[in-house]
Every structure is written in structure tokens, then in C-alpha cells.
Structure 1
Amino acid sequence: MHRIILPMLLLCAGTAALSSDHGYAAREAAKNKAELDKALTGLVPGKPQQCLDSRDQYATQRIGDTILYKVSRRKIYRADTNGGCNGLDRGDAIVTRQFGSQLCAGDPIRTVDLTSRIPSGFCTIREFVPYTAPK
């Protein structure tokens, strides 16, 4: 009897844990989408670019697996990552490894915890989509 009940209890507990995690992930995705929509409100997406000149000054904002490179209120570059940079939401430092004077799609990014200096994630950037205010 115990051989049947114990595995059933463990199966139920595991299923409950997975379903509650799914709810959390769905809430986080909805929150990130709303924040991204708010940040890009009034801006129109343009043709994706493969690279950004890293000598230019950009303020960055991290939303989920997306990094926004802000040139001004009228121009923002959106760079989605392939996921894996777990520290983006926490505000960990972004460490890029670029090959030349430009940050390009496919360049690796590491996130590093600022306190412990322990790497917290690894990902790559997809392309950069410029969002500009209409004229």
C-alpha cells in the first residue's frame, strides 16, 4: 500500500510545483511585455540592423530578455537576446565581447553579479531594431 501512495503523493507535489512555476513565468512575461510596450510607446520600428557603433553613448534598460539601447527619447534600439542572461532582470553588469568597434548580432554577452563578481548568465544578441519617433 505504501508503495503506491508515496509515489502518487510525490507525483502530485511535483505537478503542483510545475504548474505554479508556469503561472509565475506567465505573469513575468506579461509584466515584461507591458513594460516593453510602455518604453516603446509612440515610437515606430524600423529596418533591423546587424551592428551598433560601440563608441556612441547609449543608456541601457533591461526588460526580460531584451536590452534597450537609448540614444534619445526619440530613438531607441531594441536588442532581443536568445535567453540565458539570467542576471539581466536583476541588474547584473553586462559584459560584452565584441570583435571590432561595433557591437553586432551574435556577439556574446555575459552577466556578472556586481557584489560577488560571479557570472550569472550567458547569451547572444539578435539584431538591433531601431524605434524612432514619427516626424
Structure 2
Amino acid sequence: MRAVVQRVSRGRVIVDGQPVGEIGRGLVAFVAVERDDTDSDVAWLADKLVHLRIFDDEAGRLNRSVADVQGSVLLVSNFTVAGDASRGRRPGFERAAPAAEARAWLEALKEAVAARGVPVATGSFGQSMQVLVECDGPVTLVVERRR
């Protein structure tokens, strides 16, 4: 799994003019499931999202997690995050998992984050979404497990 994670003041996903997922302070994670992902990748990313220390402490240092600040996570499925744009002008998406597999892994990720005590909202898998993100900082990271 690969994710682009943004610290936000709020995030919202709209499909066909209707909100489908919304959070206040927390993280928006644009997540791509890759072909060789496993249960351990889901657990790893859930732990990373919940415990990544990218919120300010009292001294203004990035030393608190979304769990520490009682924030939420908005998971947005985004196969393009698995894209490879290193050659040519058109990215390749060979690393992205097939839709049915990706849907199941993203649901598992949602459950894993929630099981760690952090509220989770989601976008709508496979739909064209408007994602409204109010970045805080901005703090934006690419999070992926190296193999």
C-alpha cells in the first residue's frame, strides 16, 4: 500500500453533489492498494496512520499523532497514487491492484484504523469524487512500506 497523507483542519468527499465522508481535524489519506499487498501491509499502514507524529506539541514540534489529538482519518481510494511516472509522459499503473481486490483491502484498512480507536470516514470506491482538503501546515507525506 502506498498513501499520500495530509494533515488537515478538515476534509470532505462529495459524490454527485452529496457529501459521503467528512472529518474535522485529522488526516486525509489518498490510498492505493498494490498488487502484492498483504494483511501485514494493512496492519502496518493502519499503525502508521494512527501513530505518525505529525501534529504539533506544546513546543510547536511535530510530536503528536492523530490519536493523541483525538482527530479522525479520511481514507480516499486513489489508484493513481500507485502510478509510476518515471518514464515517458503517461504514467503506468501496473502496480495498482485490481478493483475487487483493492476494495477489500481498503475496507480492511478502514476497520484496522477504527480498531485502533480513531474515527474513520471514507470516500466512495470507484466513483468520481470531489475531495475538499483544508491542509494544516501544510504537512504532506508519501507513506509506503519498502520491500
Q: TM-score range by the shorter chain?
A: under 0.3
| More helix, by proportion | 1
Length-normalised TM-score, structure 2? 0.23
State the TM-score, normalized to the length of structure 1: 0.25
